A and B are shown apart, each in its own frame.
Chain A
Amino acid sequence: MQTTTPDFTALTRTAAEIRGTVIDMCHRAGTAHLASCLSCIDLLTAIYWHAARVDPSRHKAPERDRVILSKGHAAMALFATLAKRGFFDPSVLDTYCLDGSALAEHPSLDCVPGVEASTGSLGHGLSFGLGTVLGERIQGRDIRAYVVMSDGECNEGSSWEAALYAPAQKVSGLVALVDYNKWQATGRSEEVTSLRPLAAKWAAFGWRTLEIDGHDMKAIVGALDQVPDGDGRPTAIIAHTVKGKGVSFMEDDNNWHYRAPTADEVVRARQELGLA
């Protein structure tokens, strides 16, 4: 954790630039899940530039914190974030989804430096992060695992198996960040399963639960700064987000779960993001 006060303007600018990169990648590759990426980029930015103790030049150091994109379908956001953070050369992003590329539509462990787990099947990341924190604890290292989940992922029983088990192990280094954008692939999250009250569910399972605006950089940083919990509880950050955040004509429109932008739409999106 950084002790200095973060430069929120810089963090916000970084997030906008990552959004621009992701929109470009999506346009080039014509792949799905753009809106799912846009909703979690502020979270990823705050994690990678403020909270997580990671050093791209020592990306296998055992004492590093782990960032696990459990909602693996937001791979473009992860790849663009890792490249910008210096884990690998940004030119690799140009190969995204090309035939034979290391970068597929879902991330694979070590496909590029910084990818800590193969995800894409939902409901795995929280258990994986839990095991990582416990494994390092056994070996005397106090690490944190930041697990970025989707609200759709909270449909999976295995997510709740991990949610039940973690508080019993007092893993205060485990952080579940739920990108609560209120949509899943084909419908409103609330209409598919009764998620509400989502924060109360995590709290009832024994998690220290924080509910924030997942696009307010100060709120995200403020929540991340509260880790670890003094009582030994894992932390759940329920981040209220907007699917497609940052581009007016994508926001809260679930068609962008699958759609890729046209060249013209890329230009408009970049203008809105202040990237010109």
Chain B
Amino acid sequence: MRNAFAAEITALADVDPRVVLLSGDIGNRLFDKFKERHPARFFNCGVAEANMITMGAGMARTGLRPVAYTIAPFITARVIEQIRVDLCYHNLGVTFVGVGAGLGYSELGPTHHSCEDVAMLRALPNLTVLAPADAPEVRSGLRAVLAHDGPVYMRIGKKGEPVIHPEPPPFTIGRVIPLREGEDVCLVSTGAILKDVLEAADRLTVEDGLSVRVVSMPTIKPLDTAFLADAFARHRVVTTVEEHSLIGGLGSALAEWLVDQAPQRAALCRVGGKDTFLKVCAELHTARALLGMSVDDMVERTRAVLARTSAGVAR
């Protein structure tokens, strides 16, 4: 996803003179082409993320569209107050991109994990929160971001994530991207875990004989409420899946929406990370399993909620 980000932001800078790229001293050689083509619009801001974010705000105030990039926890948790005051309070068109969000840097340990970023950022007024699923969604997402006025957080994976979409899908901020139609269960996936969600959908279809709908939900804020109204009216279970803590992420956002509605047909099922830090070195799928977001978790949690609703137990 980071290679798609680098290629797309370079292409966008070619046609949009407002685009400025700020990097927090990462991405060795990743931005060589950008630097070669737009040297005056590339800034290696060093290991100084607070300055990077606020400087981006100053640039945006002059009409530019800065895009700041570094490892997810360093461009979110570390600088949450700069984001809050300088980007959100000012409501300026700065996009900040967190690479390796969720467990993208699983082997690097919890300092580099980012399973709380959505929870922190979703609370900030004016901020749009995006989590594209694959490289093509990163590309079309970036195009949508530059057409949007206001601050945007985009959490992306690292590299080598499975490509789901054959080409960049139509991307409207605040709208889901449909992947499979189905009736019984709807799996709502956000971010780079989509391939696993499709595998869970296959299992629920083959092993349980269910008709399973799958959407990618790359916009966590604002929520696609038209989609939610339809999904909760139509299906028996709506399952959210995210590479993020169960506290404050996509599942929480849907739960918040749901309690404000009249009783719905579908029950909500949430799959996400436990409230803990990993203490062992783990590759991506091991880390997901340890935190409770494996394909098995998706299948079993969905089955459990489905059984509960079938038995007529109040949710």
Q: A161 to B89, Cβ gap below 8 A?
A: no
Within 95-141 of A, Cβ neighbours of B (below 8 Å) are at 108-109, 116-118, 121, 123-124, 127-136, 138-139
Q: Which residues of chain A have C-beta atoms less than 8 A from B62's C-beta?
A: 62, 131-132, 135-136, 138-139
Interface of B, helix, strand, loop or mixed by DSSP: helix
- Is B206 part of the binding interface, using a Cβ–Cβ cutoff of 8 Å? no
- Is B278 part of the binding interface, using a Cβ–Cβ cutoff of 8 Å? no
Q: B63 to A62, Cβ gap below 8 A?
A: yes
- The size bracket of the interface on B is 20 to 34
Q: Which residues of chain B have C-beta atoms less than 8 A from A154's C-beta?
A: none
Known contacts A117-B90, A138-B41, A158-B51: does B61 contact A131 (CB below 8 Å)? yes
Q: B85 to A124, Cβ gap below 8 A?
A: yes
Known contacts A128-B86, A164-B48: does B63 contact A139 (CB below 8 Å)? yes
Interface size on A, residues (CB 8 A): 28
Interface of A, helix, strand, loop or mixed by DSSP: helix
- Is A230 part of the binding interface, using a Cβ–Cβ cutoff of 8 Å? no
Binds A, one of B52-60, B105-113, B148-156, B178-186: B52-60
Within 47-82 of B, Cβ neighbours of A (below 8 Å) are at 48, 50-51, 53-64, 66, 81-82
**Complex-state Cα separation, A184 to B53, whole angstroms:** 26
- Is B40 part of the binding interface, using a Cβ–Cβ cutoff of 8 Å? yes
Select from chain B the residue with minimum beta-carbon distance to A157: B50
> A92 → chain B, closest Cβ, in Å?
21
**Complex-state Cα separation, A133 to B90, whole angstroms:** 18
Q: B64 to A124, Cβ gap below 8 A?
A: no
B40, B50, B59: the one contacting A131 at CB < 8 Å is: B59
- Is B45 part of the binding interface, using a Cβ–Cβ cutoff of 8 Å? yes
A123, A124, A128, A161: the one contacting B48 at CB < 8 Å is: A161
Q: B85 to A162, Cβ gap below 8 A?
A: no
- Is A165 part of the binding interface, using a Cβ–Cβ cutoff of 8 Å? yes
- Is B20 part of the binding interface, using a Cβ–Cβ cutoff of 8 Å? yes
Q: Which residues of chain A have C-beta atoms less than 8 A from B81's C-beta?
A: 121
**Complex-state Cα separation, A123 to B82, whole angstroms:** 10
Q: Which residues of chain A have C-beta atoms less than 8 A from B168's C-beta?
A: none
> B149 → chain A, closest Cβ, in Å?
15
Q: B63 to A130, Cβ gap below 8 A?
A: no
Q: A134 to B59, Cβ gap below 8 A?
A: yes
Q: Contacts A131-B58, A134-B55, A135-B20 known; list 11 others, CB within 8 Å.
A: A62-B63, A109-B89, A127-B82, A131-B54, A131-B61, A135-B59, A135-B60, A138-B64, A158-B51, A158-B54, A165-B45
Q: Which 3 residue pairs are nearest across A and B when measured between Cβ atoms?
A: A131-B58, A135-B62, A127-B54
